[in-house]
Amino acid sequence: YQRRVHGDVSCVFSFSIMPPKFDPNEVKVITLRTTGGEIGAASSLAPKVGPLGLSPKKVGEDIQKATMDWKGLKITVKLVVQNRQAKVEVVPSAASLVIKELAEPERDKKKVKNIKHNGNLTMDQIFKIARRMRERSMAKAFIGTVKEILGTAVSVGCTVDGQSPKDIQDKIDSNEIQVPDS
């Protein structure tokens, strides 16, 4: 507010600050967690994509199309918005990669609760997942990424080559199992 006095008349002016002009070249990134292959509630998408001029319903359908391979799994999705166009990128977590590699049948998340993932993975599958997760891993070397994926296999509850993933980690530490460089 700004107050000006003209003679004996006092006036108050209010200045509203306009938002900055819409820049068509600006790229915004929105990260969301969703269930693969399902249309998320438009009400949960609206506060995130509405201010960018996008339709929450259309974005929900785009997310559903992009996550059909991950049906029934919780997955992280990255929306890259530029010039009111949203591109959907799936960013799978280590756990969702391990569960997908187990190739379990699809389940209805409303009916089946507390799922036990008691399948078996091979070391080649663990290496494949570790190669995919390498760029987001905090480990210095590939062997560390492999151990991270084995730790995820422990928390998911599956076995690796018929053994506990903890035993596989111990064998890697004692050089009984060789891990490739990448």
Comparing 89-98, 106-115, 158-167, the range with the smallest average pLDDT is 106-115
Condensed to tens digits (0 to 9), the pLDDT of residues 139-180 reads 788 888 888 888 888 888 788 888 887 888 788 888 877 777
- Residues 9-55 pLDDT 10s: 555 555 555 555 666 677 888 888 888 777 777 777 887 878 777 88
What stretches of the chain adopt beta strand conformation (E)?
2-6, 9-13, 27-35, 74-82, 85-91, 120-121, 159-160
Q: Is the pLDDT of residue 108 over 70?
A: no
Using only the alpha carbons of the chain, give its radius of gyration: 25
Band of residue 75 on the pLDDT scale cut at 50, 70, 90: confident
Q: What is the pLDDT of residue 20?
A: 58
* Predicted local confidence at residue 17, as pLDDT: 57
**Cα separation, 133 vs 76, whole angstroms:** 14
Residue with tokens 């530490």: 173
pLDDT of residue 111: 60
Q: What is the DSSP string of 82-95?
A: ETTEEEEEEE--HH
Which among 148, 167, 149, 158 is positioned nearest to 115, based on CA atoms? 158
Tokens describing residue 124: 């080649």
pLDDT at res. 79? 85
